[in-house]
A and B are shown apart, each in its own frame.
Chain A
C-alpha cells in the first residue's frame, strides 16, 4: 500500500461542519468503531469468551449489569462523532496505527482465535497482510487514508520531546509525542479516546480543555461525551496549532472533570 506523506503547512482550522478540513483519527478511535458494532450482537450469538472479554474490558471490570450497559456509552459516541467528523472532513490515520494494530492483533493470533487468510508468507507478514487488507477496506468504504510520518513531523516530534524536562518518561509516551507532532505539523484535528495522552501533555502542548458542542438548528449535539482542547507548539519561527477532540465519559456537563494521571511533560 502506498502511503502519502503529510502536507507541510496548510492553514486548516478546526471542526466538524466545514469542507476541506483534515482530521487524524487515533488507533483507539478506529478500534472503538469496530467495538460499537460488536456490542450490538444479541447475546445468543455472542461467544461466551467474547462476552467475558467485553465485560472485563471496562476499567470498572464490569462489576455489575449497570457497568455492562454503561460500557457501551463511549463506542457509540465515537461512532456518531467520527461519522460527523468524516462527513465534513477528510479523515486520516497515521502510519503509527499500522504498528499498533499489528501489536494488538498479535494477541488474538496467540490466543488461537484469529485465523490467517493464507500461510504463504512469514507469520508477521501474514498479520500485516490482514491489517493492510482491512485498512484498504477502510479506504474504499470511508476514504480514510494512511498518513506517512514525514521527516518534518519527526523534526517537530524531536523538538517537542526536547521541550519536556522529564525525559525519562519519553520512552513510555513516544507515540503520544509523534501523534501530536503529526497533527500539529499538518494542522489536522486530532480525535482520540486516549485520556492519558491528553492529560500527560496538558500544560505543555495541550490546554483549554472544555466540553465540545455542535449546534444543529439551535440545538446542541454532543453536550456530553466529547471534550475539545487546543494544541500549540512553537518551533523555530513556526507557530503550530490545532484542535484535539477527546471522547471520554468524564467529559460531562457542567465542565469536564478528567481523572488525570501524571502530567509527564512539563
Chain B
C-alpha cells in the first residue's frame, strides 16, 4: 500500500489535493466521455496496483487519433460561439472559486460576452483563463513541503497548459501522472512523462525555479513584465 497524498490540505488554497485534481479532471474530461472513462479506469488500476503505463499511453494516443478533443476542434462545431462561451463561463466560475476573479467580475463578464462573437477572441480568453489557473497551481505547488503534493500540483498545472495549447495527449498524460503521484506512485508518473518526451524532475525544478526567481523580485518590490522591457527598449510610443 503506497502513501496517498489525496487527502492532504494544500496551504494557500485551503483545499485538499483531491479537490484540485477533481477540478482539473472535470475541466479536461468535460470534453469527452472517453477521456473521463480513461481517467476513471486509471485510478481504479492505481488503487489495485495494476497500472500498465504502455497500455494507458497507447490508449490515450488512440483516443487522440480517433477524434481531436481539443479547443480547436470545439471551435469548429456548430454554434461554436455558444460552445466557447459556455466553456469560458465554466472557467470563470472556477477562477472565482480559486480567488482569481471577484464574484462581481464574473457577473460583468457574462454581460460582456453577449457582444463577443469573435472565435479567436474567445479562444484566447479561454486560454488565458487556463493560464491563470495553471499559474496559481505552480505558485502554490512550490510552497508545499510534501513532495508528492508539490509534484502532483506542478503536473496538474502542466496538464492545463497543454490542454489549452491544443496538446491533449500531453495534457492527459500529465493528469494521469499527477494522479499517480498523488497515490504515491512516482515511478508511474516518471514513466508517463518520459513517454511524452518530458522529464519530471526537470519540469518541477524549472517550475519552482521560476516561482523562486519571481518571488525574489517581488520581495524587493520589483514587478517585471515583458511589456515593461519593451517600453524601456523603444519608449512608450513604440
Contact = CB atoms under 8 A, between A and B. Distances in A.
B162 A221 contact: yes
B168 interface: yes
Interface in B120-166: 120-121, 123-125, 127-140, 158, 161-162, 164-166
Given A65-B109, A73-B124, A172 B162 contact: no
* Chain B facing A: main interface SS: helix
Interface in B99-116: 99-102, 105-106, 108-109, 112-113, 116
Contact of A172 (B109, B125, B234): B234
Contacts of B226: 28-29, 31-32, 35, 74-75, 78, 193
B214 A33 contact: yes
Contacts of A137: 212-213, 216
Nearest to B99: A42
Contacts of A73: 124-125, 127-128, 131
A71 B205 CA distance: 26
Contacts of A78: 226
Contact of A216 (B105, B170, B214, B234): B170
Contact of B224 (A35, A74, A173, A220): A35
Given A37-B211, A40-B138, A130-B220, A224 B166 contact: yes
B163 to A, nearest CB: 11
Interface stretch (B39-47, B182-190, B196-204): B196-204
B99 A80 contact: no
A75 B131 contact: yes
B139 A219 contact: no
Interface string A76-93: 111110010011000000
A29 B227 CA distance: 10
Contacts of B195: 217
Nearest to A75: B131
Contact of B137 (A40, A53, A101, A104): A40
A72 B132 contact: yes
Interface in A222-249: 222-225, 249
B167 interface: yes
B98 interface: yes
A50 interface: yes
Given A76-B135, A218-B61, A221-B170, A117 B234 contact: no
A43 B101 contact: yes
20 contacts: A33-B210, A33-B214, A36-B138, A37-B138, A38-B214, A40-B132, A42-B100, A57-B228, A66-B121, A72-B135, A73-B131, A77-B131, A100-B229, A141-B210, A172-B234, A196-B230, A218-B65, A218-B169, A219-B168, A253-B72
